[in-house]
Amino acid sequence: MSSGNQRQLFETDPAPWEMDEAQEGHVAAVVFTEGPTDIFHYSIPDDQLDKVAVGKRLRVPLGRGGRVNTGYCVAVETRASLGRIKYKLRDIRGVLDAAPIVSSEMLRLAEWMAEYYLSPLGPTLESIVPAGVRGQAGTRQVTLLTVPNRVAARLTQLKLPPKQRAALEHLVASAEPLTAQQVAKAIGSTTAPVNALREKGLVDEQLARVATGDPDESSVARTEALPLNDAQQAALTTIVESLEAQRHEAILLHGVTGSGKTEVYMRAIEEVIQYGRQAIVLVPEISLTPQTCERFRSRFQRVAVLHSHQSDSERHWYWRRIAAGQVQVVIGARSAVFAPTPQLGIIVVDEEHDSSFKQDMPPRYHAREVALYRTHLANAPLVLGSATPSLESYFLAKKGRRRLVELPDRVLNLPLPDVTAIDLRTEFRSEYYRGAISRPLEQAMRLALGEQGKVILLLNRRGFSTHIQCPACGHVAKCPDCDIALTHHREGDCAVCHYCEHERPAPASCPECRFDGIRYGGLGTQKLEAEVRGRFPEANCLRMDSDTMQKAGSHEAAFARFRNGDVKILLGTQMIAKGLDFPDVTLVGVINADTSLHFPDFRAAERTFQLVTQVAGRTGRGTKGGRVLVQTFSPEHAALQAAMQHDYVTFAEGEIPIRGQFGYPPTGSMVRLIIRGESERLTLQFAQRLAEEVRSGFPANCAVRVLGPAPAPIARLRGKHRFHILLSALDRRVLRSGVKAAREAIGQPPDDVQWVVDVDPLDML
């Protein structure tokens, strides 16, 4: 631990009598969540020593003024172990937490993240602990009731009125203490019978802090494990071997859509629970549907679901239950990888290729990589499941660093759906082509609906396809702050920036050339919805995208309507491509595959392959079969060809060498530096200096590519200019040390210029 720049807070060297040569007592090493990023040391007064512990937050003075700040205690050491230091240590002022809010295991995880993602330890710790837990959100004192054994033992002999008996029996049967209100609700009465039991001394009372909200713990019908097929059994055996050996191993479960991966996860988790350990299942936020959660709830008793719609107090409530070992399975999006399970037995990352596992704010971690290190610390297996593994994971599997297990077929020998391309170039020339839905697709939709099937239409809006363009001069309306095309919204007839939410009335004529036939060109989900409603007035159609799905619970409601047949056509963005399991979807249409194919990102082909494969996977899951029609201007593209053949391996084997030519992942490693600021000139100047420092920071003989600075594809965002520098090399350690060296050398950027480091970037905009 270095006391680094602590000295800089004192402008002059201390006088000799200020030197601290004490050898007695203890010191706390502290990091802060904002401001200075070094580790600071404070002495602990003897009477506070038993209160201080690693993982608690301390109140300590900082800076010349000695303003009191909160920091995390990351080590407690003896004063002697620090040796002679040139300034006087100050005392801590107080201890904020009664118990550590970060365990030593999580501290090690945070230290690893800080190192790997080049992010300071303090903010990294802060990102591990949810805000609700830090603030003890939404807890209140309640009285919890239990039935003492002496009462439970003679339950049948007790003479009680029926309501009181029902209350008592409910409490005896409950696995955990309950409040009077919970009992009353369960037996459908007031709290009077419960209070009568309390007065008679038949129940024990204890005070506890619980969440003010009462998270939904409604019980779900149990389901039994399904008999596994041979491939599933082989996958399970591989995982169980690693569990029994208590050996860390990363297993890549490559199973086509509908091959029964979830069933394998659940069986592996059953094993884990038998050892008294806990499981964490990470899914993309979008897949946190009631459907997924119910599947786990129906198999396991104590499941905690963590998602972003939860209030702080709900999170806190789950966090405490998880930390107390009362939860067997934690299901959640990215940040659930930090769930404080006391004895972690396995982590499953489902849809491991999904980009939502990467956090786009500091510390910009990828939950898959964090899960890898966490399972390494816990000697537990990590299971990465996907129908379309990330090329990163596949590449490592080929090199023997991930154990590859395959489920090549759908369960019950269901066939994979037929995928056919519709060449839009031909369609466009035809006089029948009107709007977004080609003639073959329209016919297929009529056929499917006529046979009582349901239809999913995917339109990935990321392709700038709702832009406002003048057909006379070609002018495209753009956001003044973000330099991206504005999107036309029908409701309110306005033009909206999808990065900064800048909004203005849609122009009636071209602002450039005054031509008054400006087109609200391209196609968005709203426009597609109008077209579908016009052509299929009798089939109810529902649109799902981030505009219509903002309210908590709106996904659930939408899926429920699709499931029960109230809605026959579901259309939307990639939100609808993942994880859904509806047996009677017989047709999937991809409206325009090119929107993702020609995106300015080296992963565009991979993303398109994934998207088409995933959305195709939503059909043919029942006895009625299913087919997929993909509209595109480039049907010969390798990614689409492979997706049509359901041939992941051919796609991966073809794509990896292309990446290799340019030093892109998975062959190489990448770090992206993003520099932004209000003044274009100052920002670019700093970016150039930074690039020079980075270039000169690497030893001459090592193979590192440094590109840039170049304007980022989104050159302006929220009023700031953005530049980026891309670094790639075969060895990521070289990259990290180079960036560290540059960071030391360059010092503070000018006011109003900021820069961030993104290790293993996914978002290249």
Phi-psi region of 402 (alpha: psi -120 to 50; beta: other; left: phi over 0): beta
Question: Least distance to ligand ADP from the beta carbon of 385, Å?
Answer: 7
Name the nearest CA neighbour of 639 among 391, 435, 469.
391
Binding mask 457-496 for Zn ion (x = CB under 5 A): ----------------------x-xx--------------
Residue 601 structure tokens: 């990102």
Options 154-162, 226-234, 623-631, 711-719: segment touching ligand ADP (CB under 6 A):
226-234
Nearer to ligand ADP, 260 or 340 (CB): 260
Options 20-28, 81-89, 257-265, 272-280: segment touching ligand ADP (CB under 6 A):
257-265
CA of 582: how far to CAs of 385, 560, 569, in Å? 20, 10, 13
Question: Least distance to ligand ADP from the beta carbon of 306, Å?
Answer: 20
The CA distance from 595 to 633, in Å, is 10
Nearer to Zn ion, 481 or 692 (CB): 481
Task: Decide which of Zn ion, ligand ADP, none touches 412; Cβ closer than 5 to 8 Å per partner kind.
Answer: ligand ADP
- Looking at residue 561, the DSSP 8-state letter turns out to be H
Nearer to ligand ADP, 258 or 381 (CB): 258
Task: Find the binder of ligand ADP among 226, 557, 649, 710 (CB under 6 A).
Answer: 226
Question: Least distance to ligand ADP from the beta carbon of 444, Å?
Answer: 24
- DSSP letters along 693-745, please? HHHHHS-TTS-EEEEEEEEEEEEEETTEEEEEEEEEES-HHHHHHHHHHHHHH
Total interface residues for Zn ion by CB under 5 A: 7
The CA distance from 285 to 263, in Å, is 20
The CA distance from 166 to 196, in Å, is 12
Task: Find the binder of ligand ADP among 228, 323, 494, 746 (CB under 6 A).
Answer: 228
Question: Least distance to Zn ion from the beta carbon of 496, Å?
Answer: 9
The CA distance from 758 to 765, in Å, is 12
Task: Find the binder of Zn ion among 90, 307, 446, 502 (CB under 5 A).
Answer: 502
Question: Least distance to ligand ADP from the beta carbon of 625, Å?
Answer: 15
- DSSP letters along 217-283, please? -------PPPPP-HHHHHHHHHHHHHHHTT--EEEEEEE-TTS-HHHHHHHHHHHHHHTT-EEEEE-
**Contact (Cβ atoms closer than 8 angstroms) between residue 383 and residue 251:** yes
Residue 234 found at the interface with ligand ADP (CB under 6 A)? no
Task: Find the binder of Zn ion among 234, 323, 472, 500 (CB under 5 A).
Answer: 500
Pairing of strands 454-458, 585-590: parallel
Quick one: how far is CA 285 from the chain centroid? 6
Options 197-205, 244-252, 258-266, 428-436: segment touching ligand ADP (CB under 6 A):
258-266
Pairing of strands 344-350, 381-386: parallel
Options 29-37, 255-263, 493-501, 514-522: segment touching ligand ADP (CB under 6 A):
255-263
**Contact (Cβ atoms closer than 8 angstroms) between residue 735 and residue 741:** no
The CA distance from 738 to 741, in Å, is 5
Nearer to ligand ADP, 155 or 228 (CB): 228
Binding mask 524-563 for ligand ADP (x = CB under 6 A): ----------------------------------------
**Contact (Cβ atoms closer than 8 angstroms) between residue 424 and residue 555:** no
Task: Decide which of ligand ADP, Zn ion, none touches 506; Cβ closer than 5 to 8 Å per partner kind.
Answer: none
Residue 268 structure tokens: 């592996």
- Looking at residue 434, the DSSP 8-state letter turns out to be -
Phi, psi of 658, deg, nearest 5? -65, -45
Quick one: how far is CA 67 from the chain centroid? 36
Binding mask 412-451 for ligand ADP (x = CB under 6 A): x---------------------------------------
Q: Which of residues 577-606 bind ligand ADP (CB under 6 A)?
A: 581
Amino acid identity at 217: E
Task: Decide which of ligand ADP, Zn ion, none touches 502; Cβ closer than 5 to 8 Å per partner kind.
Answer: Zn ion
Task: Decide which of ligand ADP, Zn ion, none touches 738; Cβ closer than 5 to 8 Å per partner kind.
Answer: none
Where do the DSSP E strands lie in 379-528? 381-386, 403-407, 418-423, 454-458, 487-489, 494-496, 503-505
Q: Which of residues 385-414 bind ligand ADP (CB under 6 A)?
A: 411-412
Nearer to Zn ion, 459 or 479 (CB): 479
Nearer to ligand ADP, 298 or 540 (CB): 298
Question: Least distance to Zn ion from the beta carbon of 484, Å?
Answer: 7
Task: Decide which of ligand ADP, Zn ion, none touches 257; Cβ closer than 5 to 8 Å per partner kind.
Answer: ligand ADP
**Sign of dihedral through CA atoms 234, 235, 239, 242?**
positive
Q: Which residues pair with 631 in a beta bridge?
A: 422
Task: Decide which of ligand ADP, Zn ion, none touches 482; Cβ closer than 5 to 8 Å per partner kind.
Answer: Zn ion
Binding mask 421-460 for Zn ion (x = CB under 5 A): ----------------------------------------
Nearer to ligand ADP, 6 or 257 (CB): 257
CA of 606: how far to CAs of 64, 187, 659, in Å? 53, 54, 11
- Alpha-helical segments (H) within 64-188: 79-82, 104-116, 121-128, 131-134, 149-153, 162-173, 180-187
Task: Decide which of ligand ADP, Zn ion, none touches 262; Cβ closer than 5 to 8 Å per partner kind.
Answer: ligand ADP
Q: Which stretches of the chain bind ligand ADP, using CB under 6 A?
A: 226-229, 232, 255, 257-263, 411-412, 581
Q: Which stretches of the chain bind Zn ion, using CB under 5 A?
A: 479, 481-482, 497, 499-500, 502
